[in-house]
Chains A and B, each alone.
Chain A
Amino acid sequence: MKRSEYSFNDSPAIDQVGVEERIARFSKRSIKKESKLTALKMALSMVDLTTLEAKDTPGKVKQLCAKAILPHAGFEGIPSVAAVCVYPNFVRIAKTALQGSSVKVAAVATAFPSGMSTRKVKLEETKWAVGEGADEIDMVISRGHFLAGEYNFVFDEIAAVKEACGEAHLKVILETGELSTLDNVRRASDLAMHAGADFIKTSTGKIQPAATLPVTLVMLEAIRDFYYETGKQIGMKPAGGIATAKLALNYLVVLRETLGNDWLNSDMFRFGASALANDLLMQIVKEKTGVYQSLDYFSKD
């Protein structure tokens, strides 16, 4: 959508107290046995297995890719994760390692995690990452400009990165931990979607708080309104701070009752996480065998 058709003042107010009450109510749904196993597998298939450390090595990235394709060797019926998320300089390595699998390569770009660089640099980095083979680009918005009320700047930047992405999917990281209010989260979500985001994403994982349930609900509601307004389905990715299966299932409940069946898949919903995968695996094995196994039986990468 063009900027002229969308006003930055269109976003509705958000009442934090109401959002928190709603979240408390979601957490009371019962998920166990068959329902739990289905949800655990679904959650695993939605994971963007992530490594975003400056000390990352080609070896570590390759290991991660192997785990992404086959999360728990020797155990039937475990799905691959959705994607591997790395810095741009590891995209080619990941792409090669994942060849022939369904697992996508996501690259963080645009001077991740701060975004403190020029547009030119950001666009070049994006194009380079796509050229290396990235299927998905996770960009960060310029929070400084957003908080200063320079919404046009942020809008244009997202639109430009989207163009630079070409065929690659664009995930727009709002870094909600720096936006301070849910009103800002909602406005940033609306702005990002109108500017061309394919996914909106909570956090880089480098700032606390990262993803939270209230923030996620507000973003999902923005996605729902945008869907009714335009007919376009935008995806959602909470990232950072989701380390346990139990919490992940809570996210799925919120997703299920906000956006329904069409979003309950890895094309429309992702978890940005690293430790989560093993907890999901441990719970899946527990559901199937009835016993918990030591963490030593799950590979740490």
Chain B
Amino acid sequence: MAKKQTKKTVAIKFNTDWQYAPAPENKDHIRLEEKYDLFINGKFTPPSSGKYFDTINPATEKKLASVADANEKDVDKAVTSARTAYDKTWSKMPAKERAKYIYRIARIMQERARELSVIETMDGGKAIRESRDVDVPLAAAHFFYYAGWADKIKYAVPGASARALGVAGQIIPWNFPLLMAAWKIAPALAAGNTVVLKPAETTPLTALKLAEIIRDADLPPGVVNIITGAGATGSALVNHPGIDKIAFTGSTNVGKIIQKSIAGTNKKYTLELGGKAANIIFEDAAIDQAVEGVVNGIFFNQGHVCCAGSRLFVQESIAKKVIRKLKDRMETLIVGDPLDKNTDIGAINSKMQLDKINKYLKIGVNEGGEMYQPSCTIPSKGFFCRPTLFTNVAQSSRIVQEEIFGPVLSIQTFRTVEEVIEKANNIPYGLSGGVWTDKGSKIFKVTSALRAGVIWANTYNKFDPTSPFGGYKESGVGREGGLHGLMPYLEVEHN
């Protein structure tokens, strides 16, 4: 064919003479205290130890605020206040009154959406494009959705009766700080429970802002308590005898520790843990849209997503083309200041996480993987990582087996449907997956064979409060979101 003869370099040059204008989001309207106390019994209360720790902006490494470090005494205070609020107020209140409070929280979140998204970006490093368009609106949507359930619980369990559990201890991660708080608090309140929530130590600020919102919404004191701290605080919460239920989102390792510590107790639990999702492109797929979906699947939130599509499987016949398109698309991703509206990929959440990602990049190269990163420059200050893809990897590669939790995609090829199903399932995790094909029949065949809690077809990373989310195997136990998300907060008795 003619193309063989005309062998000049054929490449798209994305380094253009015409550049976009920087568009940093204004942060003058943000009010952050120098020091944040623990939100217990409706009031901000100093920690009994008097100790505080710093939370920094991972894009600048500058300190944003000091945050109280809660110890066992503080945890006990918070649990006691949640218990009292449950016994005296929340469980006695008519359900539709509880609903009004939850609605109110949702509305105030919407009113303060801009402030919340800027703080989320400053504290966590994620691009403002995402905190503005995804995190904050979705968090408010969760409160709206579960507010609707509060006075309809009996319809959620037809033919049975249900009551609240009591006090829920909730521990959330740093990747979607506000959104995870909403996923946890909204269904717990709707089902009639009271709450002690611990945000992650690197991203406590939006949870503390949420505490302000809850206070402004006039929620009865003690119904929601928000305490900050690191692993020790979480452990004290998990082991507190006054807790009826633990809801945890985080790493599989910590999930296992929690399971062990509550074994033999009467505590209920839901665990939403790690993942290593397979994103599968068949040769009949809409390729350009599939490539876009793969990019969103792995580079969304710097890859700090438990359901990130970190393992790409491409049918052999289109592998070259897909990889070329991926590389071209990665070349146009803008990495940098998370507050800039143009930014596609923000800062890695912490130094520790960046070190972990870099360790895996080395492992990948040492294992013989071929690493590709686009030519973009990254800021010299702050924690940044270029979007990365690995080809020439195998099922046994550690970067294919282990959760990296960063912007790192590994690519394998396959020939048959059976082969890809086997490879996709050959992993200890089972949280999510994606299938890209123009054939409806293939979607049904493959999605029903994949062992994962959430599977998207011809799209990826779509979330909705009405849709349950959760994993198989080492990805966790229980579901959050939708009707399913209500159940872990209810004691159901079949009549």
Contacts and interface: CB of A to CB of B under 8 A. Distances in A.
B16 interface: yes
A276 interface: no
A23 to B, nearest CB: 11
Given A5-B1, A34-B21, A257-B332, A221 B288 contact: yes
Given A13-B284, A262-B12, A30 B289 contact: no
Contacts of B438: 13, 15
A14 B14 contact: no
Contact of B285 (A13, A21, A229): A13
A262 B10 contact: no
A247 interface: no
B18 A18 contact: no
A14 B286 contact: yes
Contact of A229 (B3, B8, B288): B3
B13 A262 contact: yes
A181 to B, nearest CB: 12
A228 interface: yes
B342 interface: yes
A230 B459 contact: no
B14 A231 contact: no
Interface in B199-222: none
A224 B327 CA distance: 13
Interface string B274-296: 00000000001111111011000
Contacts of B14: 256-257, 260-261
B288 A1 contact: no
Interface stretch (A36-44, A53-61, A108-116, A139-147): A36-44
A111 to B, nearest CB: 32
A28 B289 CA distance: 18
Nearest to A265: B17
A12 B438 CA distance: 10
Contacts of A22: 289, 292
Contacts of B21: 30-36
Contacts of A262: 12-13
Contacts of A31: 20-21
Given A28-B341, A31-B20, A35-B19, A230 B12 contact: no
Interface residues of B, number: 38
Interface in A245-263: 252, 256-257, 259-262
A18 B18 CA distance: 27
A228 B10 contact: yes
Contacts of B324: 228
A291 interface: no
B352 interface: no
Nearest to A42: B18
A29 B20 contact: yes
Contacts of A259: 12
B15 interface: yes
Contacts of B17: 38, 261, 264
A231 B13 contact: no
A132 B2 CA distance: 34
Contacts of A179: none
Nearest to B318: A12
Nearest to B285: A13
B32 to A, nearest CB: 25
B22 interface: yes
Interface string A259-282: 111101000000000000000000
A227 interface: yes
Interface of A, helix, strand, loop or mixed by DSSP: helix
Interface of B, helix, strand, loop or mixed by DSSP: loop
B346 to A, nearest CB: 15
A12 B3 CA distance: 20
Interface in B348-386: none
B448 interface: no
B126 interface: no
A224 B287 CA distance: 13
B16 A256 contact: yes
B181 to A, nearest CB: 26
Contacts of B3: 229-231
Interface in B118-162: 129
- Residue of A18, A30, A33 with most chain B CB atoms under a 10 A cut-off: A18
A230 B5 CA distance: 10
A269 to B, nearest CB: 12
B6 interface: yes
A52 B441 CA distance: 48
- Residue of B18, B288, B293 with most chain A CB atoms under a 10 A cut-off: B288
A17 B287 CA distance: 13
Contact of A18 (B19, B129, B458): B458
A36 B23 CA distance: 13
A285 interface: no
A1 B2 contact: yes
Contacts of B284: 13
A216 to B, nearest CB: 13
A30 B22 contact: yes
A14 B459 CA distance: 13
Given A21-B292, A227-B10, A260 B16 contact: yes
A18 B20 contact: no
Contacts of A5: 1-2
Given A30-B20, A261-B16, A261-B17, A18 B6 contact: no
Contacts of A17: 289, 458-459
Given A30-B20, A34-B21, A18 B2 contact: no
A19 interface: yes
Given A29-B342, A224-B12, A261-B17, A18 B23 contact: no
Contacts of B1: 5
Nearest to B14: A260
A18 B289 contact: yes
Interface string B324-341: 100010001000000011
B2 A230 contact: yes
B63 to A, nearest CB: 28
B12 A260 contact: yes
A258 to B, nearest CB: 8
A30 B341 CA distance: 7
A231 B6 contact: yes
Contacts of A260: 12-16
A29 B328 CA distance: 18
13 contacts: A12-B285, A15-B458, A18-B288, A18-B290, A19-B289, A30-B21, A32-B23, A35-B18, A42-B18, A224-B12, A224-B328, A261-B15, A261-B16
Given A12-B288, A230-B2, A260-B14, 14 more contacts: A13-B438, A14-B289, A30-B22, A31-B20, A35-B18, A36-B21, A227-B12, A230-B3, A230-B6, A231-B8, A256-B14, A257-B14, A260-B15, A264-B18
The 9 A-B pairs of least Cβ separation, nearest first, read: A18-B289, A30-B23, A15-B286, A35-B21, A15-B289, A13-B438, A261-B16, A260-B12, A13-B286
Interface of B: 1-3, 6-8, 10, 12-23, 129, 284-290, 292-293, 324, 328, 332, 340-342, 438, 458-459
Interface of A: 1, 5, 12-15, 17-19, 21-22, 28-36, 38-39, 42, 221, 224, 227-231, 252, 256-257, 259-262, 264
